[in-house]
């Protein structure tokens, strides 16, 4: 799904990413974990083709960068991020926003068929927002907006779905509800490969089989989540001693 070999991004003689090696295989779901300023956004932008590496080789869905059409490739990648949440007009209906995902447009400007509407409604039903289809986007809660945007991202049936800190700004109830829906997406047969970006360990669901810890633009460690998220590794990574507790197959940490 994604293959990076010795990928570096250099700006103004400074490494934003350095010697990244990362391989994501089909049906693996990954968490990209790092503190603020670790380079997570830059790494995502490389995958989406918005940032071209200074050095190294990037292959996404079998397409090697430099030998493929990036705009066409982006149609295979769904993304939900805090930045896109603010792009939609407050008066747009929820249904039109979900349908716009088919065309990767901000707003719906092309004709849709009944099968598109039916598919959009099936996604909204899965994400428990079908009852909102006629509501204006501006009146939705933060949690409702995130569910709508995930439905929109799935509208094009992407092979990769990137969730960039989707729980930011949500209270604990809205967060846990959203995580339940994300787990449902992860468990879909023939669903997309998920890349979940966060700096909160407790958001990493059991469905995220693998994790990569990013520190100052470099891979600190990567591998199976259950092996990466342990007390020693997380204490060294964060730079503070932490205690680790497992509950419902999720990791919870606290500073000692």
Interval 100-110: pLDDT, tens: 888 766 666 66
CA 242 to chain centre: 26
- Residue 211 has a pLDDT of 96
Q: Which pLDDT score is estimated for 110? A: 67
CA distance 70 to 68: 6
Q: What order of strands is seen across the sheet that includes strand 160-164?
A: 77-80, 160-164, 193-198, 30-33, 210-215, 218-224
List the domains of the chain with CATH numbers. 2-255 (3.40.50.300)
* Cα-based angle 86, 89, 93 (whole degrees, multiple of 5): 115
Gap between the Cα atoms of 177 and 170, Å rounded: 10
Cα three-residue angle 112-78-9, rounded to 5 degrees? 140
Distance, C-alpha 93 to centroid of its chain: 24
How far is residue 6's CA from residue 13's CA, in Å, rounded to a whole number?
Answer: 17
Percent of the chain predicted with pLDDT > 70: 95
Confidence class for position 168, pLDDT limits 50, 70, 90: confident
The percentage of residues in the chain with a pLDDT greater than 90, rounded to a whole number, is 59
The Cα–Cα gap between 162 and 149 comes to: 12
Task: Report which DSSP code applies to 202.
Answer: G
Position 68 scores a pLDDT of 84
For residue 84, the SS3 value is helix
Mean pLDDT of 140-152: 91
- The predicted pLDDT at position 227 comes to 92
pLDDT band at residue 199, thresholds of 50, 70 and 90? Answer: confident
**pLDDT value of residue 71:** 82
Provide mean pLDDT across the span 124-142. 91
The pTM (predicted TM-score) of the whole model is 0.89
Per DSSP, the chain holds a count of helices (H) and strands (E) of 9, 12
């Amino acid at each position: 799904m994604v293959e990076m070999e010795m990928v570096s991004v250099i700006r103004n003689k400074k490494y934003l990413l350095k010697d990244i090696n990362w391989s994501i295989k089909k049906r693996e779901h990954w968490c990209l974990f790092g503190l603020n300023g670790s380079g997570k956004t830059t790494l995502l932008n490389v995958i989406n083709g918005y940032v071209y590496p200074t050095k190294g080789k990037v292959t996404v869905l079998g397409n090697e960068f430099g030998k493929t059409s990036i705009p066409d490739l982006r149609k295979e990648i769904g993304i939900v991020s805090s930045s896109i949440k603010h792009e939609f007009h407050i008066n747009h209906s929820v249904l039109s926003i979900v349908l716009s995902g088919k065309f990767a447009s901000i707003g719906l400007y092309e004709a849709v068929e009944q099968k598109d509407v039916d598919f959009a409604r099936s996604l909204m039903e899965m994400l428990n927002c079908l009852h909102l289809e006629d509501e204006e986007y501006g009146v939705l809660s933060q949690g409702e907006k995130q569910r709508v945007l995930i439905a929109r991202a799935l509208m094009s049936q992407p092979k990769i779905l990137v969730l960039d800190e989707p729980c930011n700004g949500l209270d604990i109830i809205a967060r846990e509800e959203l995580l339940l829906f994300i787990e449902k997406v992860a468990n879909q047969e023939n669903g997309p490969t998920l890349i979940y970006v966060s700096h909160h360990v407790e958001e990493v669901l059991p469905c995220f089989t693998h994790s990569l810890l990013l520190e100052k633009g470099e891979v600190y460690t990567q591998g199976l989540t259950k092996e990466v998220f342990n007390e020693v590794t997380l204490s060294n990574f964060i730079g503070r001693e932490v205690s680790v507790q497992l509950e419902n197959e999720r990791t919870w940490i606290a500073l000692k």
